[in-house]
Homo-oligomer: A and B are copies of this chain.
Amino acid sequence: MLWLNSGSGKMQNSLSISDGDGCSFGPLVVLELAENTEAEAITWLLSRIRDKQQNGGADLLVEQLPLGGQEKQKVNRNVFLVGSTWQRLLNGAEDLGLFKEFQDGTMRGFTNANRESFKEFQGEGDGFLSISECQYIIKHELDTLRAKDETHVPGYLKVRLYPGKSVIRRLQSKGILVQYFPLHDKGELKRLSSSWYKKIKLSFQPLNDIRHYFGEGLALYFGFLEYFTFALMPMALIGIPYYLFDWENYDKYVLFAIFNLVWSTVFLDVWKRRSAQLAYGWGTLSRKKAFEEPRPGFHGILGLNPVTGREEPTYSNSKRQLRIYLVSLPFVLLCLYISLHVMKIYFGMETWALSIYNEDPNFLTSVLLFIPSIIYAVVIEIMNLLYRYAAEFLTDWENHRLESSFQNHLVLKVLVFNFINCFASLFYIAFVMQDMALLRHSLATLLITSQILNQVMEAFLPYWLQRRRNKKVHKRVRRMMGDQELPMVEQVQLESEMNTYLGTFDDYLEQFLLFGYVSLFSCVYPLAAVLVVFNNITEVYSDAFKMCHVFKRPFSEPASDIGVWQLAFETMSAIAVVTNCALIGLSPQVQAYFPEADTQLILTVVTVEHILLAFKFILAFIIPDVPKHIQIKLAKLEFESLEALKKKKMLEAAEISKTNK
C-alpha cells in the first residue's frame, strides 16, 4: 500500500498530508462531485474505481474526504481522495510506456519484468516514480475507466453510457464531476520554490526539479523561456551601445539587421537540439504517444468508429468543414477587418496629436504625443483577450473529435489574429509610410505597455484574487472544525478553490509576440531586446510564483518538444528575414550605394533575401534535430531490441526443431 509519511525521510517523494488524518492511504488526486449528486451514482462510481482491472475497474484506492462532525455550513461533502498501491502504479507505468533511466544510463520503457535493472528501483519500488508521475498514472487510469454494459449512469436516466465510453469524461461533460486535480506536496513545493524563484542571484532554473514536480510540458516551457532569454543577451548587449550612441541616427542599423537575420535562424535550430536533449533525459523523446481519446466536449450521433470498431459518437467531417469555412473563417476575417479599422483610427489620433504638438510645442503636448500609442497598445491587448475567448468558443463549437485537432485550429486562429493585431501598424509604418522615427517610437510604446499589462494580468491580479479567497476559506475551515487543526482537509479545501491552470498556451503566445517584436523590427529600436530580457527575467519569477501558489497543481503532461510553437516561431523567423532585408533596403546607408537606380537596389535586396531564405532552409535541413550522442543512444536501444527479438526467435525455432525430432 502506498503510504507517504512526510516525516520519515525514507522516501524521496512524500506528500505533506499524512499522520492518518482520517484517511487510510496517502491521497494523490482529489475528485470533486457536484453537491447534489445522487447517492446511487456515487456508490456506483466508487465501486467502479475500486474494482479489479480484470473486471474492468481502475483498481485504485478511494475514500471520502473526512470532514469531521456536525457542520451545517455550505461545504461540498462529495469530495473524494484517490490513491493507489505501489504495485498498481508500477503496472500503470508499464501500460503507459513511461521511460525511466536504466542501469547503463540510457532511457528505456519501464517494464515490471526487469524492474530491478532500472537505476533508482529499490525494494518494492517505493519512491521509484515521482509523485507527479503517480498522479499522471492515476489520471490516465481514471480517464480510461470505461462503461461496460451500463446504459446510463445509475440515478441519472438521461446521462447515457455505451460500452467503451470513458465514465469520467461523461460525468465531467454532464457536470456531475465538478473537477479532479492532483494535490500539491507542501514539502516538495517548498524545496522547489526555494531553489527556483526564492533567491536573487542569477542562475539557471532547476529544470529537472520543475519537471519532477510539474511534468515535462511545463518544464519545457520554462526551459524555452530561459533559453530564449539567454539567446537575447548578446542582442541586448549589442543593443545598448547602439541605443546610447546612435539615438537619432537610425540609418546605422544595417549591421544590426544582419545580426538579427543570422540570430533568428540559428536560435531556433539550436533550441530544437536542446529540447531533444532535455526530452531524452526526461524519457519523453522516443516514447510513443498514447492512443488519443475523443475530447470531453465532443458530441454527435452514435456510430461506428472505423479505427476501434466501437460504437461512439461520430460527427460528419463535412459538417465540421462547413462550420469552419462558413462561420469561423468569416468571423476571423471580420475580426481582422475590425483590427485594421482600429489601426486606422490610431493613425488618425497620431496625426491629430502631432498637429496639436506642432501648433504649440510644450511639455504637455509632447506627453500627448505618446497617448495615442499607449491607448492603441491597451486596445490591442483588450482585443487580443476578447478574441481569445471568441476563438476558443468557436473552435469548441466546431466540435473537433481530438484534443490535438482542437488545439491546432485554436492556435491557428489565435496566431493569425494576434500577428495582424500586434504587427500590422508596425508593418504599415515601416513599409508604407517608411517613417523610421515613428516606427521606433511606436514599437517602444507597444512593447512597454503590453509588458506592463501582461505582468499585471498574469500574476498580480490572480494572486490578489487568490489571497482574498484563501482568507475566506481559511476562516470557514477554522469555524467548521472549531479550533482543532485538520491540515489535510484544509489543504484539499484550499486547493479545490484555487484557479485552474489552463496550460502553456498563453505563456507561449506571449513569448511568440515578444519574439516577433525583437526579430521583425528591433534593428530600428535596439533597446527592444533589452526590454524583452528584463521582461522575461521577471516573467520567470512571476510564472514560477503563479505555478506554485496561485494555481491548482496541474496534471503533468508528457511532451517531447514545444509542438506547434516550434513551427510558429520558425514561421516568424522566416518573416523576419523578409522584414530585415526590406529594412536594410530602406536604410539611407544602403540607398546611398544606388544613388540613381531604385530598380537595381530593389533587385539586389530581393536577390539577397532569396539567397538568405534558401540558406535558412538548407541550414535547418543540415543541422540534425537530435544531437549526435543522443542519436547513438537511440540507435543503440533500437539495435538491442532487434537483437533481443532475433535471439527470442532463434530460441523458439530451436525448441520447435527439438520437439519435432
Which A residues have a C-beta under 8 Å from some C-beta of B? 53-54, 91, 94-95, 291, 306-309, 578, 598-599, 602-603, 606, 610, 632, 635-636, 638-639, 642, 646, 649-650, 653-654
CA–CA, A465 and B602, complex, Å: 56
Q: Is the CB of A649 within 8 A of B602?
A: no
Contacting residue for A642 out of B291, B602, B635, B654, CB 8 A: B291
Chain B residues near A94: list those with CB within 8 A: 649
Contacting residue for A291 out of B578, B639, B649, CB 8 A: B639
Chain B residues near A53: list those with CB within 8 A: 650, 653
CA–CA, A291 and B598, complex, Å: 57
Q: Is the CB of B636 within 8 A of A307?
A: yes
Closest to A610 in B: B578
Question: Measured between C-beta atoms, what is the minimum distance from A88 to chain B in Å?
Answer: 10
Chain B residues near A646: list those with CB within 8 A: 95
Contacting residue for A91 out of B54, B291, B610, B653, CB 8 A: B653
Chain B residues near A95: list those with CB within 8 A: 646, 649
CA–CA, A307 and B636, complex, Å: 4
Contacting residue for A599 out of B599, B632, B650, CB 8 A: B599
Chain B residues near A642: list those with CB within 8 A: 291
CA–CA, A446 and B632, complex, Å: 47
Contacting residue for A632 out of B306, B598, B632, B638, CB 8 A: B306
CA–CA, A635 and B309, complex, Å: 11
Given contacts A54-B654, A91-B653, contact A635 B599 (CB under 8 A): no
Question: Measured between C-beta atoms, what is the minimum distance from A72 to chain B in Å?
Answer: 45
Chain B residues near A602: list those with CB within 8 A: 599, 602-603, 606
Closest to A649 in B: B95
CA–CA, A54 and B650, complex, Å: 7
Sampled A-B contacts (27; CB under 8 Å): A53-B650, A53-B653, A54-B650, A54-B653, A54-B654, A91-B649, A91-B653, A94-B649, A95-B646, A95-B649, A291-B638, A291-B639, A291-B642, A306-B632, A306-B636, A307-B635, A307-B636, A307-B639, A308-B636, A308-B639, A309-B636, A598-B598, A598-B599, A599-B599, A599-B602, A602-B603, A606-B606
Chain B residues near A654: list those with CB within 8 A: 54
Closest to A308 in B: B639
Q: Tell me the number of copies of this protein.
A: 2
CA–CA, A458 and B42, complex, Å: 78
Chain B residues near A635: list those with CB within 8 A: 307
Question: Measured between C-beta atoms, what is the minimum distance from A640 to chain B in Å?
Answer: 9
Given contacts A94-B649, A598-B599, 8 further A-B contacts (CB under 8 A): A53-B653, A54-B650, A91-B653, A291-B639, A307-B639, A578-B610, A598-B598, A599-B599
CA–CA, A649 and B639, complex, Å: 25
CA–CA, A473 and B603, complex, Å: 64
Question: Measured between C-beta atoms, what is the minimum distance from A55 to chain B in Å?
Answer: 10
Chain B residues near A632: list those with CB within 8 A: 306-307
Chain B residues near A610: list those with CB within 8 A: 578
Question: Measured between C-beta atoms, what is the minimum distance from A193 to chain B in Å?
Answer: 39
Chain B residues near A54: list those with CB within 8 A: 650, 653-654
Question: Measured between C-beta atoms, what is the minimum distance from A449 to chain B in Å?
Answer: 30
Chain B residues near A578: list those with CB within 8 A: 610
CA–CA, A578 and B635, complex, Å: 40
Question: Measured between C-beta atoms, what is the minimum distance from A79 to chain B in Å?
Answer: 31
CA–CA, A94 and B606, complex, Å: 55
CA–CA, A639 and B632, complex, Å: 29
Question: Measured between C-beta atoms, what is the minimum distance from A580 to chain B in Å?
Answer: 14
Chain B residues near A307: list those with CB within 8 A: 632, 635-636, 639
- Top 4 A-B residue pairs of the complex, sorted by shortest distance between their CB atoms: A307-B635, A307-B636, A598-B599, A306-B632
CA–CA, A306 and B639, complex, Å: 11
CA–CA, A606 and B650, complex, Å: 64
Chain B residues near A606: list those with CB within 8 A: 602, 606
Question: Measured between C-beta atoms, what is the minimum distance from A373 to chain B in Å?
Answer: 27
Question: Measured between C-beta atoms, what is the minimum distance from A71 to chain B in Å?
Answer: 41
CA–CA, A469 and B309, complex, Å: 60
CA–CA, A638 and B291, complex, Å: 8
Question: Measured between C-beta atoms, what is the minimum distance from A517 to chain B in Å?
Answer: 21
Question: Measured between C-beta atoms, what is the minimum distance from A362 to chain B in Å?
Answer: 41
CA–CA, A635 and B291, complex, Å: 9
Closest to A642 in B: B291
CA–CA, A308 and B307, complex, Å: 37
Question: Measured between C-beta atoms, what is the minimum distance from A261 to chain B in Å?
Answer: 16
Chain B residues near A650: list those with CB within 8 A: 53-54
CA–CA, A654 and B56, complex, Å: 12
CA–CA, A642 and B307, complex, Å: 12
Question: Measured between C-beta atoms, what is the minimum distance from A177 to chain B in Å?
Answer: 24
CA–CA, A636 and B306, complex, Å: 7
Question: Measured between C-beta atoms, what is the minimum distance from A103 to chain B in Å?
Answer: 15
Closest to A144 in B: B646
CA–CA, A654 and B638, complex, Å: 30
Question: Measured between C-beta atoms, what is the minimum distance from A442 to chain B in Å?
Answer: 23
Question: Measured between C-beta atoms, what is the minimum distance from A631 to chain B in Å?
Answer: 9
Question: Measured between C-beta atoms, what is the minimum distance from A343 to chain B in Å?
Answer: 19
CA–CA, A385 and B54, complex, Å: 68
Question: Measured between C-beta atoms, what is the minimum distance from A594 to chain B in Å?
Answer: 11
Question: Measured between C-beta atoms, what is the minimum distance from A400 to chain B in Å?
Answer: 15
CA–CA, A598 and B599, complex, Å: 7
Question: Measured between C-beta atoms, what is the minimum distance from A292 to chain B in Å?
Answer: 9
